[in-house]
Structure formats: structure tokens, C-alpha cells
Amino acid sequence: MANSENKIYVDWIDKVKVLQKAVVKNKDGKILALKRTGDPRRPWPNCWDLPGGRVEESDIQQWKAKSGKGDGNDILINALRREIKEETNLEVENIRAVHIASDFSEKKGFFIVVIGYDCSAINENQLQLSGEHSEFRWVSKNEFLKLEIGDAGRLLEPILEKI
């Protein structure tokens, strides 16, 4: 049996960042591609991305009075729905996780969890961009991969491979 000094525990990590991205499909099976604005203060200006973002404190506060059992009130699902709604005004359904990855940022001192989802737009005709994006396109997976993707494919390509 291993000595307890040799065990690794994650409870020593003070900060965890959960990042979620969604492959949102329309009724024709096309994928929603969002072009980031040219704001140099934001990551990957003028590059193409999938909808999504971070789980925020407000997501956790809202959840505290509700569920957390993997149902419709789950923190992660609600955070993803919120991000998609904020960025595109879209409602989504048939949400399923397709990719999970993690990393640790020595520089920033936090653990990063990345979750990729596949889902369907309910109201694609009501798409309206927030100030975070300047353009959108409904594209095939191959067309998306030909766009200038902000993270050089490290995050987005593994998600797209699973759909």
C-alpha cells in the first residue's frame, strides 16, 4: 500500500476555472460559428469560435436553491444555456457533453476544466449577436475547420471531432 505522502490530492488547488463550448446546430445540421470582435483586450480578436464561456459565481448562486443532480437545473447546463443566450439570444435543447479535458496553469495558478457539448438551436431565426461577436455563419464542420480559429484548434478541434 502506498505511503500517504506519495498520494496526490486536488483539494490543494485554490482556483478552478470551468470553460464550456457548444456545437450549436440548426435544423439543417449546420454549426453556428461566431466571429470575435477586433477588441485587442479580449482573447483571439477577429477569430472564429463556438458559443460558450466560463461558469460564473452567479451560476453557482442561482443553483444553490435548486438541484445539482445532473438534471435540468445542473450548474454546468444552466451556465452553458446562459452563455449561449447572452452571446446569441438562442435557446438550446438536446444538450450532451461530448468532450472533457483539463489543464493546470502554472502562471495563473489555477486548474482548468474544459467541457464541449453538442446541442440544437430551438429558435435559430431569432439569432442576435452580443457585443462580443461581430459576425456569425451557419457552416458545416469542414467549413468551420477552414476558418481562422482563435485557439489554433487546441480546444475547438477536439470538440468537433466528437460530433
Q: Report the pLDDT value the prediction gives residue 72, as an integer from 0 to 100.
A: 62
Q: Report the pLDDT value the prediction gives residue 2, as an integer from 0 to 100.
A: 44
Mean pLDDT of the chain: 85
Going by C-beta distance under 8 Å and a sequence separation of 6 or more, which residues neighbour residue 92?
22, 24, 80, 81, 84, 119, 120, 121, 122
What mean pLDDT do residues 29-37 have? Answer: 97
Chain segment 113-140, per-residue pLDDT in tens: 999 999 999 999 999 999 999 999 999 9
Q: Report the pLDDT value the prediction gives residue 3, as an integer from 0 to 100.
A: 47
Answer CATH for 17-161 from 3.30.390.10, 3.90.79.10, 3.40.630.190, 3.20.20.70: 3.90.79.10
Q: Report the pLDDT value the prediction gives residue 86, as an integer from 0 to 100.
A: 95
In a 10 Å sphere around its CB, with 0-12 CB exposed, 13-18 middle and 19+ buried, how is residue 82 labelled?
middle
Question: Distance from first CA to last CA of the chain, Å, rounded?
Answer: 42
Whether residue 151 has pLDDT greater than 90: no
- How many CB atoms sit inside 10 A of residue 89's CB? 13
pLDDT greater at residue 41 or residue 119: 119
Q: Report the pLDDT value the prediction gives residue 105, as an integer from 0 to 100.
A: 81
In angstroms, rounded to a whole number, what is the distance separating the alpha carbons of residues 96 and 76?
Answer: 11
Phi, then psi, of 25 in degrees rounded to 5:
-105, 145
Phi, then psi, of 24 in degrees rounded to 5:
-95, 120
Q: Is-contact 87 128, C-beta < 8 A? A: no
Task: List the Cα angle 67/113/161 in 5-degree steps.
Answer: 105
What mean pLDDT do residues 8-26 have? Answer: 79
Whether residue 102 has pLDDT greater than 80: yes
β-strand pairing of 16-25 with 110-121:
parallel
Would you kindly state where each structural domain of the chain is located, as residue ranges?
17-161
Residue 23 — very low, low, confident or very high, per pLDDT cuts 50/70/90? very high
The model's pTM: 0.83
